[in-house]
Amino acid sequence: MITEILQMLTLGFLIGLTGALAPGPTLVATINASLKGGWSMGPLVTLGHAAVEILMVLLIVAGFALVIGDHAVLIGGIGGLALIIFGMLTLRDARSAVLPHTGEQTETVHPVLAGAVTSISNPYFWIWWFTVGSALIIGAYTGGLVLVIAFIAGHWAADLGWFTLVSASIHRGRFILEEHTYRWILGLCGLFLIVFGGYYLAGALLPAGV
């Protein structure tokens, strides 16, 4: 069980990192808040983002009994295919990805609220959770609630680490990663999603023992 928990922690971290790295409204909210509030804004934005994700996880787990039958294979297949698609999009976007920068003075919004609102208003967030997220959570839940917790903990560790790095860098006046390094990391995340998506899709479609 310890090995499975560590595997889920690692998987959750890697999957979470691919989403956290992608430029989006939550990253912009972190940068805007950090210009005024310093390094602590990253963890606070992450808290708001995580609060929304808690609701998503509870909804998925609550509906687990409704999909564990014939629909579980379908969800696993959709999740694997979605991972591959997201991986290809990430790999494509990594070639020209840039971190959003803003020095504009915007209206002050509490960072926790900003994290929640930017998550809810992001279509990518919903698509991810209704495809990849639900498949991974259901797959983890077959091994027990502890594996779900391990996956989410790893996922949140990636969010917290990345957004804290962003806010600390903005607070110091210079982002810690060079643009080409950021693109390489994002590209590696895309490759990971494609490889793991293929593995997950095969596991969902092929009979056990094949």
pLDDT tens-place string over residues 23-57: 788 888 888 888 777 888 899 999 999 999 998 88
Q: Is the model more confident about 72 or about 120?
A: 120
| Predicted pLDDT of residue 68 | 56
**Cα three-residue angle 163-168-171, rounded to 5 degrees:** 125
- What's the confidence (pLDDT) of residue 116? 93
Burial class from Cβ neighbours inside 10 Å (0-12, 13-18, 19+) for residue 149 reads middle
**Region 184-198 average pLDDT:** 86
Give per-residue pLDDT as tens, 134-188.
888 888 888 888 999 999 999 999 999 999 988 888 777 666 667 777 788 888 8
- Is residue 75 scored above 80 in pLDDT? no
Q: Encode burial over 93-120: b for 16+ CB neighbours within 10 A, e otherwise.
A: ebeebebeeeeeeeeeeebbebbbbbbe
Global pTM reads: 0.82
Q: Mean pLDDT, the chain, as a whole number?
A: 82
